[in-house]
Amino acid sequence: MSKKSSVAIGVLGFQGDIEENVAAVKQAAKEMKASATVQLVRYPEEMEKMDGLILPGGESTVQSSLAAIQQSLPVLKKRIAEGMPVLGTCAGMIMLSRRAYDRVVGDTKQKMIGNLDIVVERNAFGRQNDSFEADLDIGIVGKGKFKGIFIRAPAVSEVGKDVEVIAKHGSKIVAVKQKNIIGTAFHPELADDARMHKYFLKMVLDYRKGKA
């Protein structure tokens, strides 16, 4: 954990929409007038220093395999279990989950971080509808609709008892929160709306305060 006055947020830097998350954190910090640094992280020693971490959308199997090669999965698991706030969007939510499957191939047997007590169905919206936008109600970020951008998105098919459902699209669960962990099936970093990243930054600021 950083000892400086600003909070340190890492974005898992292997693959996916990394820069978009960096920009969204900067926008959130600006709107909140909060002091936050944001950097790419790949290695265990970098992850040890962060106050919060974002796992971006992209391709979950690629990201978790690369993280595993760098021996980063155990330290991610440990930091999240200790209470470090984490936001996983799309592929990031898949990596955080307890189990992932695909309707066609079944259990995808990919490497997981696993702290989030949910089961996800990958590519749950099918080929016909593999990318789309939908206006979502996400009470924790405020009243106005949030533009959900879904790209070959997963959906949550099972939630454990400590998991709060924070957004649905039709009958499908598309965002969840379990204590310090947020997972979204869509990409808030692409929405040009910093509210989810602001909510997350507030969690990080509170976490840091609790540790001070």
Please give the residue ranges that form the binding site for ligand GLN (CB under 6 A). Answer: 57-60, 90-91, 94, 122-123, 151-152
Residue whose entry in the numeric block shows the structure tokens 């920009």? 23
Degrees, nearest 5: CA angle 92-178-6? 70
Shortest-Cβ-distance residue relative to ligand GLN: 90
Burial of 63 (0-12, 13-18, 19+ CB in 10 A): buried
Of the pair 90, 174, the CB lying nearest ligand GLN is at 90
CB of 146 closer than 8 Å to CB of 188: yes
- Distance of closest approach, residue 114 Cβ to ligand GLN, in angstroms: 15
Q: Is residue 176 within 8 Å of residue 85, measured between CB atoms?
A: no
Annotated active-site positions, please?
90, 187, 189
In the bound state with ligand GLN, the residue whose beta carbon lies nearer, of 83 and 158, is 158
What's the residue count for the chain? Answer: 212
For the bound state, the minimum distance from the C-beta of residue 97 to ligand GLN, rounded and expressed in Å, comes to 11
Q: How far is the CB of 65 from ligand GLN (least distance, A)?
A: 11
Whichever of 8 and 18 has its CB closer to ligand GLN, that residue is: 18
